[in-house]
Chain A
Amino acid sequence: MSKKISLCMIVKNEEINLARCLNSIAGAVDEIIVVDTGSTDQTTQVAQSAGAIVISHVWQDDFSAARNASLEVATGDWILFLDADEALDPGTGQALRQVIEEENEGYFIKIINLIGADGSIESSPDLVFRMFRNNPNYRFRGAIHEQVVDVILEKNNQAKFQIAEQVVIRHYGYLNQQILEKDKKNRNLTIIQKEVENAPDNHILRYHYGVELYRSDRFSEAAEELIKAANHTDPSTVYYPKLLRYIALAHYAAKQYDRALEAISLGLQFFPNYADLHYYGGLIHVEQKNYAGAFDSFQHALSMPEQPVYYAPFSGSRGFRAQYQMAQLAEAFGNEEEALRYYILSLQDNPNFTISLSAIVRILNPRKEPDYTKQSLEKLCDFCTADAKRLIGTVYFTERAYKLALDYFETIEPSSLDDYTGMLKAICLIQQKRILEAVRLFSSIPQNHPQYPLARLNEILCFWFDKKRTKVRKLCEDFLAVGLSADTGAVVSMLKDSLYKRVSAPPAVLEVEGMSLVKDIILRALDLEQLPLAESLLARVAKQSQKDNALDLARIFSDYGYLDVSMYYAELYLEEHADSADAWCQMAEVLQQKNQYEEAGLCYRRALTIAPQQPQYYVKLIRLYQKMQEQLLTEATHKYPDIPIFSLLSGEASKK
């Protein structure tokens, strides 16, 4: 049997991608036909040099017409069609001819979609129909999302299809900026909308229409169309699972949670081991604060077996993502141990899932426990590449563990150090009081550099932390002269004024930008144990601005152990926001640290009554009561040694 294969493609301005594609099929096919719809770059030359037959085709908003043009001139027995941003996996090309059998009319091939950007690329497998017997009756149909499978079945209802084992296509089209631009999306949407109106009974088309609507954020419309399509689609169709999943996703995105859950439930009846459905169900339950339901769903997702390719599984739905969600649940209930366990599992499943890494670091508390954190983390991962060091350094920086961050930044070769990381390193140097080195780094940044403002500000801070009045004043005035936004300018003036006792300028009213800067500076001042300096800066902020941000300030001060100052700000915030559960909780935490247990208890209770749906307040209150009992028992056994009940209870408590 002759197994001559013709590769048929349609292209426009794909000079870079096309080369990769055609290289991958070298020797695997016998003929290459490329239909060009109006390239203005070197596309046609690339095709010709690969030995392709190039045909020009006037674009008429019709993908099928273009593809069919290639089929018309194909002379092979079999047609293979690929897109320019695809390529066959090395070594799989040979399998193409081997897999062909007389009894089959067409083949599905496994495709791996690569999504994301450098540092976090995810792969998502799927199954697509790409090879079929060359027959004048088999032509593409549909102006967009062109189909050929149902055409074949119509013309030949005995047609059999198989999966081409061993062959793998890799799709690079979703990487980085290669995602569809908005106008392309709209163009596709218009085309397909017209098509659906003309062919209301074409349910495959309606499915694609629904998907396009979803991608254009028109969620409730998407759900409607998808449901219509689903009602007329055979459950054994290869894309049926994806269709059901899209329905659930559309409802979810449209915030129609109950309907989303119904769709998921229905989907699971058909495909009980479809991990994605369990995972999305879990997310919806979290949204509805049904934590028990969420727990169950994520556990189900984790226990699912490896997914068949045509489920097009969302990467991580039965692995790192579900584990991450379980960790989040555990944290919400105050169970840090369990949370850590799940975050670690998540990271082990996908070492590139940096969110889990950040969470692990956060729980280990690197600022207060640097050695323990470092050791624990090094047991988990090896930070040997520059990229890895940069990553972990940045994570430590975000957690304000400046010394640890600096340790890693310093192990990176200066030549591999990008500007942003360089800035972070310099800030760490300030926090480690290595002012000279820091200043050197900051002053080397030129005025047109995007990091310039940050550099200048930090340069001022170098001297501000050292209370060098004159130098600070000079630098501030120079910086202001450059021209700054109102808020930033105000902060710079404040920095200048705060080192002087008598100031004429009134306290400044700051917006979000300014307050954000101030909070950051306060934080760093406290890190350097410069409380008076921090307070002098805050004194220059208008009372109302302070009040609006009082909760954040309370947190910052309590983080660094300045409990009384923290309480002052918490109370300030509560004056205007007596219904803020977070504020009451923050107050309670500080009171607890000050051993004012009764006061803390009242505050936790207050938070609980304001927000009964938050698990954390319950947990904190329970722990407080346990602490109080513990303390009383110790006191009691000491004070009344001859009353047996106390030692008994105390013994029980210590066993818990």
Chain B
Amino acid sequence: MTLQQISLAMIVYNEAEHLAQCLESVQHEVDEIIIVDTGSSDDTVLIAKQYTEKVYSYQWNNDFAAARNFAIQQTTCEWILSLDADEQLSIESGDLRSLISQSEEYCAFCLPLCALKATNAQCEFDRFMVLRFFQRSYHFKGAIHEYVAIDNPSAVGYALHPMILHTSVSLAKRRTRRGRNITLLKKAIAQNGTDPYLQYYIGTEWLGVRRADLAITSFQKALRQFSVQQAAFRSPTVRHLISCYKNIGKLDKAICLCLQESQNYPDYCDLFFDGGVLFELKGEYEVAIKWFQEAVKLNPPPLPFFHTDGTNGYLAYYHLGYCAEKLGLFKEAQKYYKQALAANKNYYYPLYPLVLLKLAEQSAIEVLNFLWEKEYLLIPEVAEKMMELFWAAGFPDISIQCLTNNISHSASSLELLVRCQLYSGEFTLALQSITALQQNGMQLTTEMIVDEITALLLLGRFDEARRIMWSLWHKPDCRDAFRAIFCLYKKLHHDTLLPLSNRKAVATLLDLRDRCLRVRAIGFREQQCFAKLLGVITTILLSDGETMALLIDDLQKREQAVKESMDYTFTALRGLYQ
């Protein structure tokens, strides 16, 4: 057995932010690291030296290929891996060495370059195949968007693993890079106007700086040139062009393109997904559903194709659920959302509309149990979102049960926790929580102070309430909140009615009223406390003509909301109820 050796060959320029992360991910997968610096002014070289001795300087001459070929020249191994500093290698499902030993006939490999979109990993990423792993006899060509020139296409293998993950870079950095690239590309195009690859690349750069209008022309030119067989580049061109049309609002043009290309690629699930999204945007939900249903019937496209993960699975099901909801098919919508969750447990966005649908037909406790059974509440982001959802739907008592003790939670969710404790009638517990948070060094928001005072007022601890109220007065931007609370206090404790005309103060009171109406106290007694508070708020608001109008308006809105939720639950029953 011959020992195959792998060299990492990189060119860098001011990559101090990401270089370490990249090298960490790859250092054990290669036998040699070559880093060519093209003139960094930050700590790039310093960091590089921590991982390898072979760090070289190179005079940048606006030629990427030349720089990379220089890096290759410094390597001593059989195989070359080419990465950028803002990339990482992910060997979860397979590494480089096994790739070489498994397939003897290939001289080069295309690996998936995955651009993560959403905040949660393993979901919604774009997959673009790039030739980055090759035998040292090959070289780069092309001053800008350099590529490895291989004359024998059958010598190129496509592998799903390992994956190259592209981490997101800061907006500023992206802009500078793109600016530089565009300049270079324009120059190259001036010399070679018909090269479709150049057109494709400049299109992607324009798209990156949000000039969809300029990107369109480039993509159109590229599309005319690429043959159907050149799927690796034609497929992203098509999809990017669709995206551009969508961005500038030309949905019909995008749809036409979709239809056309689905003739060329009848099994390309991403196309059907894109089509579905377009019809969904147009509001033609039945047609959209048909497109999405086509997408889920298909497998992911063969490796050269540009593919967004989930377009034939969880993403499509999510959209199917959304469209079904729009058509009032709530049972179907639930089924689709469940399918989305089953297809990818980590893509939990479908959970939110699903929970809302469930709340319309099940008791909140049952929905909570469902969440626990499926272990969704063990994920902090989900737990916090669910907390917000239950609170918004008026179940503070259930909201509390979304948080588990041994997971740390964000400040905003801890704030919400206290509020939910208060509005479940657990006044003392809420006050204890606030004290504990203060002791842990948390800075209380105005809202939390209002909650604290409310709890004290409801418990009849007026002196303590008054003390904290003054602390509100001392903060200039909390004065309006103070005015509202003070009014409340005066009526509750001294049965005196103070005028309240300040707009913002009135808003605070209305806010407080809104929260009281979501109360779900453990017992009738506690609920009566809130009812009393509501009564006082109403009395205050009735003392002024304008605020009275606001109150009447609020009642009307609530009436409307109940009617809507009735329609939602029972679907309109012509004439049976008014």
Contact = CB atoms under 8 A, between A and B. Distances in A.
Interface of A: 291-292, 295, 329-330, 333-335, 338, 570-571, 574-575, 578-579, 587, 596, 598-599, 601-603, 605-606, 608-613, 615, 618-619, 621-622, 625-626, 628-629, 632-633, 635-636, 639-640, 643, 645-646, 649
Interface string B550-578: 01100110110011011001111111111
B394 A609 contact: yes
B52 interface: no
B528 A334 contact: no
Given A579-B365, A596-B531, 5 more contacts: A606-B520, A610-B363, A629-B559, A636-B552, A640-B548
Contacts of A612: 359-363, 569
B335 to A, nearest CB: 14
B395 interface: yes
Nearest to A567: B524
Given A605-B394, A615-B570, A635-B542, A622 B576 contact: no
B552 A574 contact: no
19 contacts: A291-B570, A295-B573, A571-B524, A579-B363, A598-B538, A602-B517, A609-B394, A612-B361, A613-B361, A615-B570, A622-B562, A622-B563, A625-B556, A629-B559, A636-B548, A636-B549, A643-B545, A646-B548, A649-B552
Contacts of A606: 520, 527
Contacts of B571: 292
B519 interface: yes
Interface string B510-548: 000000010110111101101100110010001001001
A58 B556 CA distance: 82
A636 B545 contact: yes
Contacts of A646: 545, 548-549
Contacts of A632: 542, 548, 551-552, 555
B527 A602 contact: yes
Given A292-B572, A602-B517, A643 B359 contact: no
B539 to A, nearest CB: 11
A333 B522 contact: no
Nearest to A614: B569
Nearest to B543: A639
Contacts of B531: 596, 598-599, 602
Contacts of A613: 361, 569
A194 to B, nearest CB: 45
B12 interface: no
Given A633-B552, A636-B545, A574 B524 contact: yes
B116 interface: no
B401 to A, nearest CB: 15
B202 interface: no
A334 B563 CA distance: 13
Among B362, B538, B558, the most chain A Cβ lie within 10 Å of the Cβ of: B558
A381 B196 CA distance: 90
A288 B517 CA distance: 31
Nearest to A610: B363
B562 A621 contact: yes
B441 to A, nearest CB: 36
A333 B565 contact: no
B575 A629 contact: no
Nearest to A620: B562
A338 B524 contact: no
Contacts of A570: 524
B364 interface: yes
A587 B524 contact: yes
Contact of A335 (B362, B563, B577): B577
A625 B545 contact: no
Nearest to B574: A295
B576 A602 contact: no
A622 B557 CA distance: 11
